[in-house]
Structure 1
Amino acid sequence: MEKDFLDKKLPWENRLSIFRFVQNPLKYVTDEDEFDCLPDRIPLRHDVGMYFPAYDDYMDYYQFDKEINPEFIKRLADMFQAYVNRGNINAKIEFYNLLKGFPIINYHRDFINELATRKVVITHQMKELGRWMVMETPDREVVKMGIILLGVSHDIESIPLLKSIAKHGEFTYYVGLALYEMTPQWDLMLIDIIEPLYYWGRIMAVILLLDYSPREKVRKWCVRYGFRHNYLPDYNIEDCMKQGNVLKDMREEEWDEPLLRAVQAYVVFLLENTRYTHENGGEVIRLYLKYTLGKRRGYVQFHIIQSLYNFLNVAKNDKTLVENLNISEEDYSDIWIDVHEEVQKPWFQKLLHEDCTYKTYPYTTQDRLKKVIQDLGD
């Protein structure tokens, strides 16, 4: 029976490994739009017209969590043990195909818990399987589970390998999970990995930092930088500010420039989303005005003051908006006075009536204003 399988083409045979592709995508693609596209080319679960690393996992994690059949988990564990303990090639093939066909974001914890329940002993064969899955296999879900296995087997020697695969956003979250199992420095390593990353791979990694890192340095980093490098800060700025406790930093007498920029991005977000509830909105806005009035007079400050002015005018007839931002009566009164005084000042009136054109992009005052606001998340 085992020989029958060996006579057939193995599911990973004669296919480009994902690890090799990630190390040198220029060798395999000529279209720069495809540099991030992994060679297994699986159908997207949440198709938005093109592939974004980790977007499918992000959507599953937040919105489409699926119930997993316990029998599936048991079968997966059976095949894993049959191969690791006895070298059964049939079991390896079935284990591989099961992983390949089902997104592990929905069940990797269940699988590891099943192994723990069975008191599976960490062996050299287990580590070797994990490394092979990461370095040699051509299917992304198999690579992800290999990363997880290296983590739970505490294979410290594989950390450079994990850092290497993590530079592709599809795998960064799983590398973060593995590093968490391996070293107390996992969170600092993960920040170094995600600094240059964009979009959902970065967002997924920031989730780990917010949920599991106890380090003050990491908390401050998440507040200042965790929301950046996304299409919009909206995707995770509220998580960064609430879980990272931005108010702790805002209550300090002096702010560093990255904190100020982060708070500006958050205030813009709050004022664009007043139909939703934000438990810290009122205090954030009050402290922002307290710190910046008389100090900031640029495009961002103009946009925030103008947005607050418009918000106050609408809120006169819709107190729900005030409640959504959790603004106390005292804070509301202070904000009202501050904003109505600020809009009368010469600097604000000058920008309000400015309608200049420029020889280089952005070409108009309004274009420049929009670009400055958009760049808050970069």
Structure 2
Amino acid sequence: MGFFNQLFGKKDFESGDTPDTMPWDARPSIYEHICAHINPDQIGLTEAGYQLPDEARINEGEELRWAAGALDGVMTHHGGNGNAQEQVQKTVSLLLSYCDQPTAANKYALYQHIVNESIVSMIDAVIASLLDEQKLNHERLYELAYSFMTETPDRETVKFGIAILGLYQVAENTPLFQTLGRHDEFTLYCAVALGNTADKTDLALWELARNVDGWGRIHVVERLAETENSEIKNWLLREGYRNSVLYEYLAFTCATTGGLLAALSEPHVDCELLTSAGELIEALINGGPAEDMDDYDDGAIVVDLFLNHIDSSAESLADFLHVCSIQQFLKNEEADWESRSERGWTAQRCEGLLAICNEILERPEWPDRVRTSLKSPVEQEFYAADQVARVLKLPTWNYQWKRLQEQPHDSSRWFHVMLACDETYISQVLDFAEQVLDLEQIASGADETLGIGAEFVQHSCLDCILQELRRFPGHGATLIATGLKSPVVRIRNMAVAALATWGEVASTFEPLKQAVEVEPSESLRHNMQKILKGEPLEE
């Protein structure tokens, strides 16, 4: 459990002695914290509500932080959530000791143990062991779980409390689960508890799903896969798949459970549903972490129906991009079309669908719509326009350059400017960078930091510049020299990669000679030495 010990820390709990002040008395509880940050007019919590009372302890000394619920989400979706038998046995033993003798010392011993574990990795095995205990004092276990869930300031004990309390199927606890579940860190556990507790499980899960949009929504929507409720199905189809992690996690569930085929089989489909259908189809085509288009038996007929509906109504840039994703899917010569043909993707159908895609994407009105949206102050609208412009090969430089000048410390704007930049504009861009970026702050000295956080905004801007400088050999000496002194490893790598395109002259670059002497990364120092010797870097 070394990884989890590092992640969750043992800083406050090293001693085996019972402290004078218990953790649940010394700090505010997570439950109180969440209650204080609920705004009835918005989903989830207020922004401050996502910073839990144990945040500082968990992230002490850590640059890379997990988003709420992300670690448990990755473990449950991508393996690694098996139980460690020794930890399970110790947990059960400490739990039984408390239930036999509910002393402060026994409660603290269990608390100390749980805080330093990952509950998701062992809770199923712990519960299975408890169910086999014939003499377990359930009243004491219930009281302990309730206390951990509502009174403690550390997330793993709250998760433990939710998981145990959910076994007892007490309907009065449903509001507690709905409240704690609004934070994505606890949604998984609350969803399971609601499945055991709520009178109308699907409705309870639906309420919870609408109050989260990250990993929490993924966990809850997956548990609605068997619903027969028509309202919930409609919501899944139109909104339920949308989350801040990846639509691909939920696209298959929402398309199948929501009845995408039946919805598109109707003679009239509203614009909202067509947009949702396009997003679902694109996510299924993208594939990745969950079932995709090749798992979707109705995929061919659904795409057929969608294109025939959108053919007469396509007008938004989102429509364009959805059709474009279908076009690329149909043009993929490396796919197993023989297998796909068995699921309806026949050569004749694909030829017809591709013709519809081509006709929609070649319509003359798209360029003007793109130019209009490139002027939009709405980020989402601008980025859609930028994507379409790339497909249509429309120039975007003037729009990108204007946006960068409006917000010169926005790294995403530097990224897009550098992508649109060519030899005509590169000197102009680099001069501007030297004027607006705090190069002295960036060049604070080589270190091995990841460069995450608000204090690295300037570094991120330089990063976006350097990664494209490889296309412009001989340009950007000042920025490369600055990058070589950045504490962010990636930026120094980008600076070296850019310098490597300079040819023999790179071996005489004085800032590189100075940088190699203090470079803490062995692999990067090796690359610096190769450039100084006039040797090419390995691809």
Q: Give the equivalent residue in structure 1 for 2:248.
A: 234
Equivalent runs, 1:145-224 vs 2, <5 Å: 145-210=160-225, 213=227, 215-224=229-238
- Give the aligned residue type for 1:351: W
Match 2:145 to one of 130, 135, 142: 130
Residues 248 and 284 in structure 2, CA contact (< 8 A), matched pair in contact too: no
Match 2:323 to one of 283, 305, 329: 305
Q: State the alpha-carbon separation in 1 of the partners of residues 211 and 318 from structure 2.
A: 25
CA distance 1:59–1:262, change in 2 (3 Å): same
Q: Give the equivalent residue in structure 1 for 2:4.
A: none
CA distance 1:185–1:50, change in 2 (3 Å): same
Residues 79 and 94 in structure 1, CA contact (< 8 A), matched pair in contact too: yes
Q: State the alpha-carbon separation in 2 of the partners of residues 337 and 300 from structure 1.
A: 19
Q: State the alpha-carbon separation in 2 of the partners of residues 356 and 73 from structure 1.
A: 60
Q: Give the equivalent residue in structure 2 for 1:54.
A: 69
- Give the aligned residue type for 1:23: C
CA distance 1:207–1:10, change in 2 (3 Å): same
Residues 215 and 245 in structure 2, CA contact (< 8 A), matched pair in contact too: no
Larger mean Cα displacement after TM superposition, 139-148 or 162-171: 162-171
Q: Give the equivalent residue in structure 2 for 1:331.
A: 349
Q: CA deviation at 1:140?
A: 0.4
Match 2:130 to one of 102, 105, 115: 115
Q: State the alpha-carbon separation in 2 of the partners of residues 34 and 311 from structure 1.
A: 42
Q: Give the equivalent residue in structure 2 for 1:16.
A: 28
Q: State the alpha-carbon separation in 1 of the partners of residues 162 and 287 from structure 2.
A: 38
CA distance 1:177–1:355, change in 2 (3 Å): closer
CA distance 1:255–1:99, change in 2 (3 Å): farther
Q: Give the equivalent residue in structure 1 for 2:278.
A: 264
Give the share of equivalent positions with the same residue, in percent: 21
- Give the aligned residue type for 1:278: D
Which of 1 and 2 has greater Rg? 2
Q: CA deviation at 1:55?
A: 0.9
Q: State the alpha-carbon separation in 2 of the partners of residues 364 and 58 from structure 1.
A: 27
CA distance 1:120–1:221, change in 2 (3 Å): farther
CA distance 1:365–1:180, change in 2 (3 Å): closer
- Give the aligned residue type for 1:60: M
Q: Give the equivalent residue in structure 2 for 1:296.
A: 314
1:369 maps onto 2:385 in alignment? yes
Q: CA deviation at 1:342?
A: 3.8
SS of residue in 1 equivalent to 2:223 = helix
Q: CA deviation at 1:171?
A: 1.1
CA distance 1:221–1:107, change in 2 (3 Å): farther
CA distance 1:321–1:49, change in 2 (3 Å): farther
Larger mean Cα displacement after TM superposition, 63-72 or 136-145: 63-72
Deviations 1:183-221 (A, max 9, x none): 2312212222231322112222222222x6454543443
Q: Give the equivalent residue in structure 1 for 2:102.
A: 87
Which 5+ residue runs of structure 1 have no aligned equivalent? Answer: 27-31, 373-378
Q: CA deviation at 1:245?
A: 4.9
Q: State the alpha-carbon separation in 2 of the partners of residues 362 and 86 from structure 1.
A: 61
Q: CA deviation at 1:134?
A: 1.2
Q: CA deviation at 1:101?
A: 1.2
Residues 76 and 95 in structure 1, CA contact (< 8 A), matched pair in contact too: yes
Q: Give the equivalent residue in structure 2 for 1:29.
A: none
CA distance 1:48–1:261, change in 2 (3 Å): farther
Equivalent runs, 1:317-356 vs 2, <5 Å: 317-320=333-336, 327-343=345-361, 348-352=363-367, 356=371
Q: State the alpha-carbon separation in 2 of the partners of residues 194 and 354 from structure 1.
A: 35
**What is the count of residue pairs matched by the alignment?**
356
Match 1:74 to one of 82, 89, 94: 89
Q: Over aligned residue pairs, what C-alpha RMSD do you find?
A: 3.5
Q: Give the equivalent residue in structure 2 for 1:286.
A: 304
Q: Give the equivalent residue in structure 1 for 2:515.
A: none
Q: State the alpha-carbon separation in 1 of the partners of residues 380 and 154 from structure 2.
A: 48
Q: State the alpha-carbon separation in 1 of the partners of residues 338 and 275 from structure 2.
A: 24
Residues 54 and 154 in structure 2, CA contact (< 8 A), matched pair in contact too: yes
When normalised by structure 2's length, the TM-score is: 0.58
Residues 114 and 157 in structure 2, CA contact (< 8 A), matched pair in contact too: yes
CA distance 1:18–1:144, change in 2 (3 Å): same
When normalised by structure 1's length, the TM-score is: 0.79
SS of residue in 1 equivalent to 2:191 = helix
Residues 176 and 186 in structure 1, CA contact (< 8 A), matched pair in contact too: no
SS of residue in 2 equivalent to 1:81 = helix
Q: CA deviation at 1:319?
A: 4.8
Which is bigger in relative contact order (C-alpha 8 A, separation at least 6)?
1
Which 5+ residue runs of structure 2 have no aligned equivalent? Answer: 1-15, 39-45, 389-539
Larger mean Cα displacement after TM superposition, 258-267 or 169-178: 258-267
Deviations 1:124-176 (A, max 9, x none): 33332222111111110110111112211122222222222222221122111
Equivalent runs, 1:94-109 vs 2, <5 Å: 94-109=109-124
CA distance 1:9–1:222, change in 2 (3 Å): same
CA distance 1:363–1:88, change in 2 (3 Å): closer
Residues 178 and 190 in structure 2, CA contact (< 8 A), matched pair in contact too: yes
Residues 357 and 365 in structure 1, CA contact (< 8 A), matched pair in contact too: no
